[in-house]
């Protein structure tokens, strides 16, 4: 079912880069690597736990597209904001959420930031400036744009990084948000994770465009199409965009062409995609490609790699244990936090 | 009432620099009904924002900046145009506090011009307030006097939760009355007994308040004393005042301009059925706008649609006979 146009965007040379490659410190490169590993391993663990029946609902894996998140949210400042979509549970981790709270969210426990109200797809973290997402498509772009307006009005130099898939670009709210941000030169970076499939609908039925970044022209700010599996390319483009936003020069649209390895969610076998397509993309695994790069630069060894993996496994196991042992919220909490505590409400 | 709202906005923007207004045609033109006239000159473009014609982002921009600690007051030019913003209001604003267990809040006040009047036809006459009453997390208010309009708007802007502030366009110029110059609030929540009477209770709100009072005066001359309760806050509802009145009079007529089926009166009736059944001496009756999609343009059709004093009188007579 894969169309030719879908394959065309796999070619990394088709992607433009807004800035020339920079020299990065080993510390930064290893930091990016550790975070990629952490996101990959947490996501895979979340999938396993779901399949083991450890929690109900669903999980929306982002495996395969981690570089789009890590490359853009890595080392954001505490006062910066992230507006995740349903597939960006790991954005909480990159923004600094302790793993135990992330797994508590999966398990819907009272120890999660929202005391078990939202499913894992809708995890937010107010203290860390991660906006609590909703299922309404593109909604995080609209709310994120509002937060960017607030930042501008308060004369802060924080930025908002907002995530969304290719499917969200068809929604009216997407247009309203980007148009508004363009008018007011808001400090927001729109990170489009174009994974070629909006649930089961291929890109060719979403848009007549080859590059979704072309849309940025219509809103009066720059847009770039990137190889979303090349973490350094994404990181560099994001740094340029963040600097631009902080300087008050307005939004940037970053289309990160990538691929989700698994179905839309854990209950979707994704039979609409060909095996060849999936395998071709798995060969362009963002983690493996970066690992190879670091090995070649002699910044990573097999020993070091195992050490990082073991350390992450330990951390995840502790987090899962915390989550499993945490209680569910009491039924008496059902009607709490509808209005402010001072408000009289309820019929 | 128009001046009262303008004064409330102006005074609150002066008092609290976190407050800003945004919406279609509110700045340069001062609003379709001139409610926001003069505010652009006084506060500048940064705090009086003429927005693109896109209700979704008007509300989303307000929600996001409220999350940052600001106090936005977005305007929806006509209640008929609120539908593109419903996703933001219902899926975001009403649920933000709940879904983050109090981590985020959404102190926005959405001003909405609504209601019949002026023969403006299908798309400039709808009320639509009841849509939002169904959503816990929202507060829905509709004042009927100039005094309440100013006091409740100030209370709404200072409220920690999202408030939808409905302004009936017919009241902009018809609702006249003394409005104190200074700062005061009329709390969101309590209903008010506008007229005391022992024979039956009229529960009403908005533009229908004065029409119900007019009908009550006429019935008084015929020996029937109606108690008129104005429900200024539609959600959360003040059950106590309503129940106290109905328990006293034992009869209840509900009057509203919006459509009948699943309208506000249906909920009021259900509450009375659940909580005051033993006190009732007659059926709970409703006088409402008809179940017609919207108010038609032609003057005679518009007139046929209107809830007027005659229709209210007929309702009172029917109920008083029990």
Summarised one tens digit per residue, pLDDT across range B142-185 is 999 999 999 999 999 999 999 999 999 999 999 999 999 999 99
Residue A10, pLDDT score: 45
Q: What is the DSSP string of A84-102?
A: --TT-HHHHHHTT--HHHH
Confidence category of residue A48, pLDDT binned at 50, 70, 90 = very high
SS (H, E, C) chain B: CHHHHHHHHHHHHHHCCCEEEEECCCCCCCCCCCCCCCHHHHHCCCCEEECCCCHHHHHHHHHHHHHCCCEEEEEECCHHHCHHHHHHHHHHHCCHHHHCCCCCCCCCEEEEEECCCCCCCCCCCCCCCHHHHCCCCCEEECCCCHHHHHHHHHHHHHCCCCEEEEEECCHHHHCCCCCCCCCCCCCCCCCEEEECCCCEEEEECCCHHHHHHHHHHHHHHCCCCEEEEECCEEECCCHHHHHHHHHHHCCEEEEEEEECCCCHHHHHHHHHHHHCHHHCCCCCEEEEECCCCCCCCCHHHHHHHCCCHHHHHHHHHHHHCC
A340 within some domain: no
Residue A341, pLDDT score: 82
Residue A135, pLDDT score: 86
| Stretch A172-186: mean pLDDT | 97
Residue A14, pLDDT score: 45
Q: A178 in helix, strand or coil?
A: helix
**A319 to chain B, minimum CA–CA distance in Å?**
21
Residues of chain B with CATH 3.40.50.920: 192-320
Query: How many CB atoms are located within 10 Å of the residue A271 CB?
Result: 9
pLDDT at A344 over 90: no
Residue A1, pLDDT score: 34
Q: How many domains does chain A have?
A: 1
ipTM attached to this prediction:
0.94
Residue B46, pLDDT score: 95
- Top residue of A182, A338, A346 to mutate, by most chain B CBs within 10 Å, is A338
**CB < 8 Å to B20, chain A:** 153
Residue A343, pLDDT score: 59
Domain that holds residue A155: 31-322
Q: A304 in helix, strand or coil?
A: helix
- Top residue of A146, A175, A343 to mutate, by most chain B CBs within 10 Å, is A146
Q: What is the DSSP string of A212-233?
A: GGGHHHHHTS-EEEEETT-HHH
| Stretch B279-305: mean pLDDT | 95
Q: Which residue has the tokens 């796999």?
A: A10
Nearest Cα neighbor of B56 from A83, A154, A158, A137 is: A137
Cβ atoms A120, A91 nearer than 8 A: no
Q: What percent of chain B lies above the pLDDT cut of 90?
A: 99
pLDDT at A12 over 60: no
**CB < 8 Å to B56, chain A:** 142, 172-173, 176
Residues of chain B with CATH 3.40.50.970: 2-174
Residue A62, pLDDT score: 96
Burial of A270 (0-12, 13-18, 19+ CB in 10 A): middle
Nearest Cα neighbor of B208 from B245, B241, B166 is: B166
Both ends of chain B: CA-CA distance in Å? Answer: 38
Tens of pLDDT along A49-104? 999 999 999 999 999 999 999 999 999 999 999 999 999 999 999 999 999 999 99
- The dihedral through the CA atoms of A85, A52, A291, A128 has a sign that is positive
**B319 to chain A, minimum CA–CA distance in Å?**
27
Note the CATH architecture for domain B192-320: 3-Layer(aba) Sandwich (3.40)
**Window 104-133 of A, Cβ < 8 Å to B:** 113-115, 117-118, 122, 124-127, 131-132
Q: pTM value?
A: 0.94
A255 within some domain: yes
> Is any Cβ of chain A less than 8 angstroms from the Cβ of B257?
no
**B101 to chain A, minimum CA–CA distance in Å?**
5
A291 within some domain: yes
Residue A13, pLDDT score: 45
pLDDT at B322 over 90: yes
Which of B54, B67, B137 is opposite residue A339, by nearest beta carbon? B137
What's the CATH number where A107 sits? Answer: 3.40.50.970
Q: A331 in helix, strand or coil?
A: helix
Cβ atoms A123, A147 nearer than 8 A: no
Residue A136, pLDDT score: 87
Query: How many angstroms separate the CA atoms of B31 and B168, rounded?
Result: 15
> Is any Cβ of chain B less than 8 angstroms from the Cβ of A343?
yes
Residue A120, pLDDT score: 85
Residue A11, pLDDT score: 45
Quote the tokens at residue A193.
């994770």
- The dihedral through the CA atoms of B92, B95, B100, B103 has a sign that is positive
pLDDT at A4 over 60: no
Residues in Cβ contact with A334 at an 8 Å cutoff, skipping those fewer than 6 apart: none
Quote the tokens at residue B78.
């006509």
Residue A242, pLDDT score: 98
Report, as residue numbers or ranges, the catalytic residues of A: 260, 264, 272
> Is any Cβ of chain A less than 8 angstroms from the Cβ of B228?
no
Quote the tokens at residue B18.
């976190």
pLDDT at A165 over 60: yes
| Stretch B224-253: mean pLDDT | 98
| Stretch A188-198: mean pLDDT | 96
Residue B65, pLDDT score: 98
Q: A201 in helix, strand or coil?
A: strand
Which of B67, B98, B136 is opposite residue A147, by nearest beta carbon? B67
Cβ atoms A93, A50 nearer than 8 A: no
Which of A115, A177, A347 is opposite residue B101, by nearest beta carbon? A115
| Strand boundaries in chain A, DSSP class E | 81-83, 160-165, 188-194, 197-198, 201-202, 223-227, 252-257
Residues in Cβ contact with A146 at an 8 Å cutoff, skipping those fewer than 6 apart: B60, B61, B62, B63, B64, B65, B66, B67
Cα A117–Cα A122–Cα A126 angle in degrees, nearest 5: 80
pLDDT at A9 over 80: no
Tens of pLDDT along B96-125? 999 999 999 999 999 999 999 878 899 999
Query: How many CB atoms are located within 10 Å of the residue A185 CB?
Result: 17
The CATH code of the domain at B2-174 is 3.40.50.970
Q: How far is CA A35 from the centre of its chain?
A: 13
Q: Is there a contact between B64 and A127 if contact means CB atoms under 8 Å apart?
A: no
Residue A17, pLDDT score: 52
Report, as residue numbers or ranges, the catalytic residues of B: 124
Q: Is there a contact between B65 and A114 if contact means CB atoms under 8 Å apart?
A: no
Q: How many residues would you count in chain A?
A: 347
Confidence category of residue A22, pLDDT binned at 50, 70, 90 = low
- The dihedral through the CA atoms of B295, B297, B298, B303 has a sign that is positive
Cβ atoms B191, B218 nearer than 8 A: no
Q: Which residue has the tokens 């200074």?
A: B182
């Amino acid at each position: 079912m894969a169309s030719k146009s879908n394959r065309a965007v796999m070619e990394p040379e088709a992607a433009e880069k807004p800035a020339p490659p920079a020299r990065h410190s080993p510390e930064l490169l290893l930091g990016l690597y550790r975070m990629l590993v952490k996101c990959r391993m947490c996501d895979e663990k979340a999938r396993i736990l779901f399949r083991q029946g450890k929690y109900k609902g669903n999980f929306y894996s982002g495996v395969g597209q981690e570089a789009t998140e890590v490359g853009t949210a890595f080392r954001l400042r505490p006062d910066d904001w992230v507006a995740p979509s349903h597939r960006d549970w790991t954005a909480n981790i990159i923004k600094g959420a302790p793993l135990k709270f992330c797994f508590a969210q999966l398990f819907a426990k009272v120890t999660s930031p929202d005391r078990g109200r939202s499913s894992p797809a809708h995890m937010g973290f107010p203290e860390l400036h991660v906006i609590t997402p909703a299922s309404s498509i593109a909604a995080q772009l609209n709310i994120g744009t509002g937060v960017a307006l607030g930042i501008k009005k308060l004369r802060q130099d924080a930025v908002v990084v907002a995530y969304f898939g290719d499917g969200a670009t068809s929604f009216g709210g997407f247009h309203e948000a980007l148009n508004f941000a363009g008018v007011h030169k808001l400090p927001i970076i729109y990170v489009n994770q174009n994974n070629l499939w909006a649930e089961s609908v291929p890109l060719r039925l979403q848009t007549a465009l080859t590059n979704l970044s072309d849309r940025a022209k219509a809103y009066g700010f720059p847009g770039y199409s990137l190889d979303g599996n090349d973490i350094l390319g994404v990181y560099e483009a994001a740094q340029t965009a963040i600097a631009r936003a902080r300087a008050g020069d307005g939004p940037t649209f970053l289309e990160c062409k990538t691929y989700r390895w698994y179905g839309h969610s854990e209950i979707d076998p994704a039979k609409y995609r060909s095996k060849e397509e999936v395998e071709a993309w798995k060969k362009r695994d963002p983690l493996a490609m970066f690992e190879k790069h670091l090995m070649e630069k002699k910044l990573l060894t097999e020993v070091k790699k195992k050490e990082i993996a073991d350390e992450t496994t330990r951390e995840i196991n502790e987090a899962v244990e915390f989550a499993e042992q945490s209680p569910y919220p009491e039924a008496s909490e059902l009607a709490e936090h509808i209005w402010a505590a001072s408000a009289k409400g309820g019929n | 009432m128009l001046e009262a709202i303008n004064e409330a906005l102006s005074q609150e923007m002066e008092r609290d620099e976190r407050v800003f207004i945004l919406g279609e045609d509110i700045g340069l033109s001062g609003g379709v009904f001139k409610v926001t006239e003069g505010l652009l000159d006084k506060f500048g473009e940064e705090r009086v924002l003429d927005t693109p014609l896109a209700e979704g982002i008007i509300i989303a921009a307000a929600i996001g900046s409220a999350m940052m600690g600001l106090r936005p007051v977005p305007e929806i030019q006509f209640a008929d145009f609120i539908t593109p913003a419903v996703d933001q209001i219902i899926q975001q604003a009403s649920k933000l506090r709940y879904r983050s267990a109090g981590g985020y809040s959404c102190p926005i006040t959405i001003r909405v011009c609504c209601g019949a009047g002026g023969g403006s036809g299908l798309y400039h006459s709808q009320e639509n307030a009841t849509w939002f009453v169904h959503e816990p997390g929202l507060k829905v208010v509709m004042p009927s006097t100039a005094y309440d309009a100013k006091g409740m708007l100030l209370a709404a802007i200072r409220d920690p939760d999202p408030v939808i502030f409905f302004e009936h366009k017919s009241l902009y110029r018809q609702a006249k009355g003394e409005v104190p110059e200074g700062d005061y609030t009329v709390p969101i929540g309590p209903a008010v007994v506008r007229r005391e009477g022992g024979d039956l209770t009229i529960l009403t709100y908005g533009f229908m308040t004065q029409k119900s009072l007019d009908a009550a005066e006429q019935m008084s001359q015929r020996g029937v004393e109606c108690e008129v309760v104005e429900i200024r806050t539609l959600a959360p509802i003040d059950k106590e005042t309503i129940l106290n009145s109905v328990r006293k009079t034992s009869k209840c007529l509900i009057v509203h301009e919006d459509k009948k089926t699943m309208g506000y009166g249906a909920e009021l009736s259900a509450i009375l059925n659940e909580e005051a059944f033993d006190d009732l001496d007659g059926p709970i009756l409703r006088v409402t706008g008809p179940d017609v999609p919207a108010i038609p343009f032609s003057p005679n059709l518009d007139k046929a649609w209107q809830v007027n004093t005659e229709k209210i009188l007929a309702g009172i007579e029917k109920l008083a006979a029990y």
